[in-house]
Structure 1
Amino acid sequence: MSRIGILGAGAFGTALAIALARAGHEVALWARDAGAVAAMRETRQSPRLPGARLPEGMHPTASIAEASATETLLLAVPMQALAPLLRENATLFRQKTLVACCKGIDLESGLPPHRIIARDAPEASPALLSGPSFADDIAAGLPTALTIAAADEARAEALQRELSTPVLRLYRSTDLEGVAAGGALKNVIAIACGVVIGAGLGESARAALLTRGFAEMRRYAEAQGAQAETLAGLSGLGDLALTCTSEKSRNFAFGKRLGAAGRAETLATTEGIATARAVAARARAAGLEMPITELVAALVDGRVSVAEAAERLLSRPLRPE
């Protein structure tokens, strides 16, 4: 078994650390808060995953240099925190494989995670880990399947072997663009589906929105050079199905509150908000038709009401499927 570093001690990073340590890896989990690290070491518990015990092979640390003393680093920080982390530590990340576990689009640049890595840590090798998963399921040892993607087939296969466990099954891909697009846009569609349920528009409307949202995901991904079949896999349709139908999804839950009340508190971990804004801007510039994404961006910015958004979608011209 190998030694693996994970940067980011939120729920997902901690859950991955637990799963990999249980499988026999030595895992260093980095958190900025030294007090939280000390508490995790003492109690073998994480405040982000109540009830989940930290295995002995998992080592919380407040030293990013200590956590990064591995060949493979999992970056489990929020999407909008990825670029600053890379810029601050580019020297530390030289010659490493950096696996981005965040899903979304950088609001400042409009770039997905692997392209942020290529830009800000050019001497590292970018990879992506994405797919339908909730942190508490992974921490509980429940069966989960994800996609691991790297541009090089041999590197993707090596990561697949290294990071798979008896209950965390990884499927490999070389389509970084498709995996990134699926992971990002499913959050936008999840917000839209939450709005539908929160506004009382019904399950049939959610199914329709999920389906048309999937069409938007494919359209956008293919425009980025992705393979259409990638969007039909775990990192596309699989993740979309999970996040659009579960109350455990932060994006769906945010949308549901927005649909019910017309407004909702914005949390940094609701990645679909920034992604909707970034993708809507890129789609407009490229002449891509993304009506659901456009309306989600308008809703979260308060430019349209829920009723106006529904009317706009329902009044669109009839067309072939």
Structure 2
Amino acid sequence: MARPERIAVLGGGSWGTTFAKVLADAGNDVALWVRRPEVAAEINDTRFNSGYLPGIELPERLRATGDAAEAVHAAEIVVLAVPSQSLRENLAGWQPLLPDEATLVSLSKGVELSTLKRMSQVIAEVADAPMEHVAVVSGPNLAKEIAAGQPTATVVACPDEERAVALQRACSTSYFRPYTNTDMVGIEIAGACKNVIALACGMAVGLGFGHNTMSSLITRGLAETTRLGVALGADPMSFAGLAGLGDLVATCMSPLSRNRTFGERLGRGETLAQAQEAAHGQVSEGVKSCSSIRELAARSGVEMPITDVVHRVCHEDLQPGPAAAELLGRERKSE
């Protein structure tokens, strides 16, 4: 039996806390860095993170700390679980603390606004680490369901297959089944774009549309996501897998999805500010990533009409109703 890993998870939101629980349930010693000392105290004293995972008891092998240096000390795996647009800033502060040979794992799903870089590229650049040391975890991973022990599968992607297998082993439990993949580009593009398509699906729900509309958006959203990924060098088969279609369906269909719920509020007529206030500080990654993905697509010569209208609803005052009419009124063509 493989020995336990020493693992740090930096970020104590719902997904960071959930993945830390998965790692601890898999038999590893896990240090969870959280920004607020009162959250660390609650986790250590009561075994609960009531602000993000109410009602979910956390395992004894998971310990929380507000000290990043303490969290990453001697860690063999360092998991980065902060929002995509704040990853660079946070990682710059942590970089001097990172062990040289640690595998750096991204849970963030997005494309950086200022640089149009994927999260693995940001990590390699800021941490001054070889890309072979960087990995990504992505799939149909709604945090509350996983924290409750409901079965799911995910993808662990890394250019170094040996590191991918080590991470796969470290997060395998009776309810969490990871598969390995070496296609970082495809896995990350799928993860970033699905949030944007989920916003569109939420808007459709808010407008009162049904399953035919949702199915059409998911299918055409997968098509435009695949076009972008292939243009950037991804394996098209990645988009038919767990991190592609699997994550897309879960995020677009579930009311647990922050992006789907945020889009639904916009579809019902709320402003961006009202929807953000209702989210109570929970980040809807697609609201910002729709802009960077749209620009990345333009630079790559790829047409992404759903992403385009989502950007314009979020940032250019296009209303969801006219946005839907615009999509339906596009030039007819072969599928």
The one of 238, 246, 269 aligned to 1:261 = 269
Residues 1:7 and 2:13 aligned together: no
Q: Which runs of 4+ in 1 moved over 3 A?
A: none
Give me the whole-angstrom Cα distance separating, in 1, the residues matched to 2:169 and 2:299.
40
Task: Name the counterpart of 1:123.
Answer: 129
The one of 167, 173, 177 aligned to 1:159 = 167
Which residues of 2 match residues 65-84 of structure 1 at below 5 A?
65-69=69-73, 70-84=75-89
Q: Which amino acid aligns with 2:117?
A: L
Residues 1:26 and 2:21 aligned together: no
Q: Which amino acid aligns with 1:16?
A: F
Residues 1:46 and 2:46 aligned together: no
Asked if 1 retains the 8 angstrom alpha-carbon contact of 2:22 and 2:171, the reply is no
Give me the whole-angstrom Cα distance separating, in 1, the residues matched to 2:233 and 2:219.
21
Q: Structure 1 residue 21: deviation in Å?
A: 1.6
Task: Name the counterpart of 1:312.
Answer: 326
Does the residue aligned with 1:27 lie in a helix, a strand or coil? strand
Task: Name the counterpart of 1:287.
Answer: 301
Asked if 1 retains the 8 angstrom alpha-carbon contact of 2:23 and 2:170, the reply is no
Which residues of 2 match residues 151-190 of structure 1 at below 5 A?
151-190=159-198
Which residues of 2 match residues 170-319 of structure 1 at below 5 A?
170-264=178-272, 265-266=275-276, 269-319=283-333
Give me the whole-angstrom Cα distance separating, in 2, the residues matched to 1:168 and 1:240.
18
Give me the whole-angstrom Cα distance separating, in 2, the residues matched to 1:23 and 1:315.
51
Judge which range, 5-14 or 33-42, deviates more: 33-42
Task: Name the counterpart of 2:118.
Answer: 112
Q: Cα 1:268–1:166, aligned 2, differ >3 Å: closer, same or farther? A: closer
Unaligned 5+ segments in structure 1 are: none
Give me the whole-angstrom Cα distance separating, in 1, the residues matched to 2:113 and 2:329.
30
Unaligned 5+ segments in structure 2 are: none
Judge which range, 188-197 or 157-166, deviates more: 157-166
Give me the whole-angstrom Cα distance separating, in 2, the residues matched to 1:24 and 1:305.
49
Give me the whole-angstrom Cα distance separating, in 2, the residues matched to 1:276 and 1:65.
34
RMSD: 1.3
| TM-score, with structure 1 as normaliser | 0.97
Give me the whole-angstrom Cα distance separating, in 2, the residues matched to 1:44 and 1:198.
37
Size of the aligned set, in residue pairs, is 321
Asked if 1 retains the 8 angstrom alpha-carbon contact of 2:26 and 2:170, the reply is no
Asked if 2 retains the 8 angstrom alpha-carbon contact of 1:73 and 1:96, the reply is yes
Asked if 1 retains the 8 angstrom alpha-carbon contact of 2:206 and 2:267, the reply is yes
Q: Structure 1 residue 167: deviation in Å?
A: 1.5
Q: Structure 1 residue 308: deviation in Å?
A: 1.7
Q: Which amino acid aligns with 2:114?
A: E
| Percent of aligned pairs with the same amino acid | 42
Give me the whole-angstrom Cα distance separating, in 2, the residues matched to 1:179 and 1:99.
13
| TM-score, with structure 2 as normaliser | 0.93
Output one character per residue of 1:120-140: Cα deviation in whole Å (capped at 9) or x when no partner: 112362110000011111211
Give me the whole-angstrom Cα distance separating, in 2, the residues matched to 1:52 and 1:312.
44
Give me the whole-angstrom Cα distance separating, in 2, the residues matched to 1:308 and 1:112.
31
